[in-house]
Structures are given as C-alpha cells and as structure tokens.
Amino acid sequence: MVVPEINGQETKKSKLIANPNCTTAIGLMALWPLHKLFGLKKIIMSTYQAASGAGQPGMDELKEGTKAVLEGGTAKNEIFAHPLPFNVIPHIDKFQENGYTKEEMKVTWESRKICGLDDDFPISCTAVRIPTIRAHSEAIIVETEKPVDVAAARKALAEAPGVKLLDNTEKNEYPMPMTATGQYDVEVGRVRKSLIFGDHGLEFFVCGDQLLRGAALNAVLVAEEMASNGSLEAKKPVEA
C-alpha cells in the first residue's frame, strides 16, 4: 500500500502495490510532513466526505434527491443509509464491533501501515457523508512529541510535494471542496496550535479531490515511482 510521497520505496519490495483508501491518502499528505518535523503521538480525524465517494450512483442520488426536495418532493435513498440532500450522515461503510465503521478503521489501519507506525499507534476517525458532489474534507487534530512551531508547520506544508498551503484567514482563504475539486494537490489550511494539546498539538483542515488523490492520480504516481526507481524493469516477466 503506497502513497509515493511517503513510502514510495516500498514499490521495490513487492510485486503487488495497492492504492490506499482515498480518505487516508488525503489526510496523510498533510500529516506526513508534520510527523517528520515534530513526531506525532496521536491523531484525531473527522471527515466530511462527498457523494462521489460512493461512485456515480451516489452522485446521481444526491443530484436527483436535491432536485426532488427543491420541487417540494421527497429525496429517495438507495445508495446512502438516509437521504443525503440537506443532511449529513455519520455513517460510511459497515459498523464494526468496536462501534467504528470500516471506513473509519481503514484510516487507522492504513495510516499506521503507510507511515510505518506501531500497530497500537492511537488514531481515531469519525467519517461523515455530506451533500457535496466531489472532494473530501478532513478536520485533523494531532498531539506531537516535540513542541510545535506554527510558522515552521506552515513552511513544511508549503514545501511538501502534493500539498498546497491555503491558509490566509484575513482573506478568507482556506481549503474547500469548491477549490480542491479537479486539483492534483491536497489543500491544507486553518493551521493553528491546539487548545487541547497546547505546545504539543496542532489543528488544521484538509481538502482533496478523492477521485485523484487516493484513486487515479495516486495510481499514476505509483507507476511513475516504479519507473524511476527501476521497479518496473525488475518486475517484467521473464520470457521462456
């Protein structure tokens, strides 16, 4: 399981490379530079996921349901657990025995694996479906090993490949699905010291087009990484 900007070297070790969950990939684009800078101890994430996470049928259900409601009718739900128009649904994928959904647990399992974290590294996620067409958003809180420096955090994010720092509250500039849709880079903003963890914590907001990062774009970047490091040559079948 590979996000090239984080663990691209893993493509040299395996014949089978998998794309991660799109929610995981979007969040890790911002988390990884901060982990390298401050060392992360805990991650708490709340996600706001677009209808397109459920594919074309999900987008169609949102569009048709919104039209029905605006015309005085009732939205139907076959794809989502409840009607999505003018609603938010704290339920994506099947509930597990621990009360989390499988979507939420994927963030925990995959983040540990991709970043090389311990199997018991604390990561908690609440995944919510919202009535937007495209691009997932995430509010992320982290506790860090080292004291944080907000300016240094912004600099690290601005310089990180695949990340676009959009963090100017004086001009109302911050990540949104409207601006992230169709963009290769993951937007990160609202970077601030955490009121909970103080000098050892940061809070920020992330938005990324999940049809690219975590899906098509990530797959292309994996192939490019393999081509550049010789993995593709090493994996060519030997002719008889």
Q: Is residue 231 part of a domain?
A: no
User: Which pair of structure tokens corresponds to residue 237?
Assistant: 């079948």
Cβ neighbours of residue 81 under 8 Å, at least 6 residues apart? 89, 91
The yes-or-no answer on residue 136 being catalytic is yes
Judge whether 24 lies within some domain: yes
Tokens of 46: 């709340």
Report pLDDT digits (tens) over 55-72: 999 999 999 999 999 999
Kindly report the CA angle at 169 between 164 and 173, in degrees rounded to 5?
45
Read off the pTM: 0.92
For residue 23, the enclosing domain spans: 4-50+88-213
Whole-number average pLDDT of the chain: 94
Q: How far apart are CA 240 and CA 225, in angstroms?
A: 28
Domain of residue 151, CATH code? 3.30.360.10
Give tens-digit pLDDT for 154-169: 999 999 999 999 999 9
Query: How many domains does one find in the chain?
Result: 1
**Residue of 35, 115, 125, 136 marked catalytic:** 136
Q: Beta-strand (E) ranges in 77-159?
A: 123-129, 136-144
List phi, psi (to 5°) of 195. -75, -20
Find the radius of gyration of the CA atoms of the chain.
19
Q: Is residue 148 part of a domain?
A: yes
pLDDT, residue 238, reads 44
**Tens digit of each residue's pLDDT (9 = 90 or more) over 2-35:** 998 999 888 888 778 888 999 999 999 999 999 9
Closest CA to 184 of 217, 231, 140: 217
Active-site pick, 22, 115, 125, 207: 22
64 falls within a domain: no
